[in-house]
């Protein structure tokens, strides 16, 4: 059995870069924990992934922007969304004073 706690073992202090931890990987599936504190995508950078992604913001706060939308989306703890394959998006901001913990489920497009 594989088990854990998504909020255990968080960094004690802010890190220079987001922390990525793969929790489970199988063919066509990857589940990861991402910990952000004040990080954002680099100016002009857009994620454009071949796989679909379902993401849940477990704690903290963030702003996510999709290239095809005029405004960024504010996310708070408990908010989730589905990102279709190839949909360009970026992290505009994450809370600077608390950890923003994400649960990201990457899976092959059906």
Give the pLDDT confidence of 43-54 residue by residue, as tens digits. Answer: 999 999 999 999
Residue 95 lies in a domain: yes
Structural domain boundaries, residue 54: 19-107
The neighbour count for residue 9, using CB atoms within 10 Å, is 12
Rounded to the nearest 10°, the torsion over CA 78, 90, 20, 30 is 80
> Residue 87 pLDDT > 90, yes or no?
yes
pTM, entire model = 0.90
Adjacency order of strands within the sheet including 61-66 = 73-76, 61-66, 89-94
Please tell me the total count of domains within the chain.
1
- Residue 13 within any structural domain of the chain: no
**Is residue 11 in a domain?**
no
Q: What is the pLDDT of residues 33-76, one digit of tens each?
A: 999 999 999 999 999 999 999 999 999 999 999 999 999 999 99
Q: State the pLDDT at residue 110.
A: 67
CATH number, domain of 59, equals 2.60.120.10
Find out whether 86 and 49 touch, Cβ atoms under 8 Å. Answer: yes
């Amino acid at each position: 059995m594989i088990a854990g706690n998504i909020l255990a073992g968080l960094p004690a202090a802010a890190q220079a870069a987001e922390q990525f931890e793969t929790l489970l990987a199988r063919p066509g599936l990857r589940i990861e924990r991402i910990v952000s504190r004040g990080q954002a995508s680099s100016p002009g950078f857009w994620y454009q992934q071949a796989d679909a992604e379902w993401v849940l913001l477990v704690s903290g706060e963030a702003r996510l922007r999709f290239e095809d939308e005029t405004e960024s989306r504010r996310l708070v703890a408990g908010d989730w969304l589905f990102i279709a394959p190839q949909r360009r998006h970026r992290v505009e901001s994450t809370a600077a004073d608390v950890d923003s913990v994400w649960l990201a489920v990457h899976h092959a497009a059906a």
